[in-house]
Chains A and B, each alone.
Chain A
Amino acid sequence: MPHLTQLTLSQVRQQLADASLSASEVAEAALARIQATEPKVQALLSVQAEEARAQAKALDSSGPDPSKPLWGVPLVVKDVLATKGVPTTCGSKILENFRPVYDATAVARLKDAGAIILAKANMDEFAMGSTTENSAYFATRNPWDLERVPGGSSGGSGATVAACQCYGALGTDTGGSIRLPASFCGIVGLKPTYGRVSRFGMVAYGSSLDQIGPMTRSVEDAARLLAVIAGHDERDSTSVNAPVPDYVAALSERTDLQGLTIGLPAEYWDQGLSPEVAEACAAAVQQSEALGAKTVPVNLKLSEYAIAAYYIIAVAEASSNLARFDGVRYGLRDKSAEVLMEIYVKSRTQGFGEEVQRRIILGTYVLSSGYYDAYYRKAAQVRRLIRQDFEAALGQCDVIMGPVCPTTAFKVGEMTADPLQMYLMDIFTISTNLAGLPGMSLPVGLGRDSGMPVGLQLTGRAFDEARLLQVAGVLEKNVPATGLAKV
């Protein structure tokens, strides 16, 4: 029988709902697991143990509430999401002592659903990175192999879920930051359609690319978390006012993939894949065919331009978003500054890490007079072409499948020297953000050579998360089990 901490979110919520487990028992087990594994994994920037205990006790005194779908479930949120009264550092020294006075909408919705927020997850500083080595505090390790990275930027969220420290986490995804760590850590990660989840209270990196989404140990768990956080929010004008389907009910509508067409872009399958990733992902596609799906080749011809377009747009938006950190209203202030300009310059220079500074400079450059048209406007034009590419491909199929990343998790320190090399790791994930489409990472087994988890990426039509979840839910039961990390 699995240990209490190894249950899925869906399992534990059921046992909490029928009172076979108390909220306090579940919270204590998670806290004990954190204490036992955290020295090795280092997934968390802060743990709210006392608050969690108090909340669990209060829940237990009133008893299970069927109107709250996450009643008593301990979760973790990425430290880029504002949580009232609790440190929210974005993995940066510039926000070391920042405690927001409000909750991000996604966090507020989890709390309203009865969830207990246990801890804040480590991340690359301001979500800029693909390994979580760019955190200003410490590097998170992959629970499957502590010598390897968990992926990033939501690497703390990925590692905490894979290490069974909690039952699910929120991550954010600007260019793959949910899907890559989900893939590297052997868990499910879903980046919703742009506009599906409110970004209010998420510290912005690339505002036209960012989305918040669930990271969990099962597809059903992801459906349950998305159901809670999705939907229009008057505080975010880019959140779309469209009905939210019942994602959990949608899962039970399918037991096979009959009648579905899966698109396979040559651009994602033909080049540069490590043999073990190609093998595991191809086996999952074959399994999809065995389950009744038809596969067709599709073209995403502009894929080779996506990284260039993405990094221009992302850094341009970042340089603008990060201008708010000026040492005046919140965040670090250099105490030696004597005039106002020095406050800005010294606080920012001291507070921002190297990768953040590099992206601010690049972003300022591509937006500056004389270069705006050549870089930013050009990238925005290519972005439209990329979306048209996806629309054409998704006109021929229901879901696009490919790998999340060309490799499984690599060793700590292996990729940090050359920033461009690091940007290239996002090759399969960033187009989805440019196009604003939903994307998902599903574990499809362990790589033959590394023994590390392999993630299959599913990309769907805008606001068609239900279909992604359905396909992933069917496949999950029919691909080799990834199992749990032995940490």
Chain B
Amino acid sequence: MKISPEEVAKVARLARLDLSLEKISQYAGQLDGILAYMDKLGELDTSAVEPMYTPVDQVSVMRDDVSRKEFSREDILKNAPETDGSFFIVPRIV
């Protein structure tokens, strides 16, 4: 078995998802099949291959460090689930 229900539960916690026992066992079965399929890559010898993380060979793009203000505070807070008009509000954490 590639991935156990316990590992699925652990990874779900890391990803901030709360899964029912039923979902955990369903995902574990499905992910196990998918990971087994992915093992196919092991057939290829890639020891001398540089990983390719993006198709664009680009160096960091530099620009002048100039501040720009394109949006008002009001605009940015428009989609906030909870706000006091100045800040995003979350429950007290300290």
Interface residues of A (CB under 8 A from B): 97-102, 194-195, 208, 234, 237-238, 240, 302, 304-305, 307-309, 311-312, 319, 323, 326-333, 337-341, 343-346, 348-349, 352, 357-358, 360-362, 364-365, 368, 375, 377-385, 387, 419-420, 423, 435-436, 462
Contact = CB atoms under 8 A, between A and B. Distances in A.
B3 to A, nearest CB: 7
Interface in B6-42: 7-8, 11-12, 14-19, 23, 27, 30-31, 33-35, 37-42
B41 A308 contact: yes
Given A208-B54, A237-B61, A436-B56, A365 B18 contact: no
Contact of B14 (A368, A381, A385): A368
B93 to A, nearest CB: 5
B69 interface: no
Contact of B88 (A99, A304, A328): A328
Interface residues of B, number: 52
Contacts, number: 159
Question: Which 5 A-B residue pairs are closest in the complex by CB-CB distance?
Answer: A436-B55, A380-B51, A333-B81, A330-B79, A381-B46
Contact of B80 (A329, A357, A381): A329
Interface of B: 3, 7-8, 11-12, 14-19, 23, 27, 30-31, 33-35, 37-44, 46, 49-56, 58, 60-61, 63, 70-71, 75-76, 78-82, 88, 90-91, 93
A332 B90 CA distance: 13
A357 B63 CA distance: 37
Given A333-B82, A385-B49, A436-B55, A343 B41 contact: no
Nearest to A309: B41
| Residues of A contacting B: mostly | helix
A308 B91 contact: no
Contact of A420 (B3, B34, B44): B34
Contacts of B43: 305
Contact of A435 (B14, B55, B70): B55
Given A195-B55, A340-B90, A381-B50, A305 B44 contact: yes
Given A234-B63, A387-B52, A360 B15 contact: yes
Given A330-B79, A378-B41, A384-B50, A362 B34 contact: yes
24 contacts: A98-B79, A194-B54, A195-B55, A238-B56, A304-B40, A308-B39, A308-B40, A308-B41, A319-B15, A328-B90, A338-B91, A339-B91, A341-B16, A348-B15, A348-B16, A349-B17, A357-B23, A361-B8, A361-B11, A362-B34, A365-B31, A368-B14, A380-B53, A387-B52
